[in-house]
């Protein structure tokens, strides 16, 4: 999945990947996607939960070239 914005949160502990996602989302156009790269195991649950709470679309998870989980979010509003 291609995403115009990619946040490198590989070395950030919980809840920083979600904080960075919340900070970056306003810079993404409605309908565009944003990817969060995070090794924090909680991100697997936190990103989809944050999307549900904030009315954004959780597109899914994939793996970056280095094996880091990559969570993709689409801005809906």
Compute the average pLDDT of residues 1-24: 94
CA distances from 21 to 5, 40 (A): 10, 14
Q: What pLDDT does residue 1 have?
A: 76
d(CA 20, CA 9): 8
Q: Catalytic positions, please?
A: 14
Dump pLDDT digits (tens) for 37-73: 999 999 999 999 999 999 999 999 999 999 999 999 9
| CATH code, 53 | 3.30.110.40
Give the domain range for residue 39.
Answer: 5-74
**Total domains present in the chain:** 1
Element (H, E) at 6: strand 5-8
Residue of 29, 22, 35 lying closest to 73 (CA atoms): 35
Q: What pLDDT does residue 7 have?
A: 97
The sign of the CA dihedral 67, 59, 23, 18 is negative
Q: What pLDDT does residue 53 have?
A: 98
pTM: 0.94
pLDDT at residue 2 is higher than 90:
no
Reported as half-sphere exposure (CB side, CA atoms, 13 A), residue 49 has a value of 8
């Amino acid at each position: 999945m291609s995403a115009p914005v990619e946040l490198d949160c590989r070395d950030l502990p919980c809840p920083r990947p979600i904080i960075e996602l919340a900070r970056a989302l306003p810079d993404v156009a409605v309908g565009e996607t944003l990817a969060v790269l995070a090794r924090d195991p909680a991100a697997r649950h936190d990103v989809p939960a944050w999307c549900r709470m904030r009315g954004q679309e959780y597109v899914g998870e994939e793996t970056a070239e280095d094996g880091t989980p990559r969570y993709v979010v689409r801005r809906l509003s």
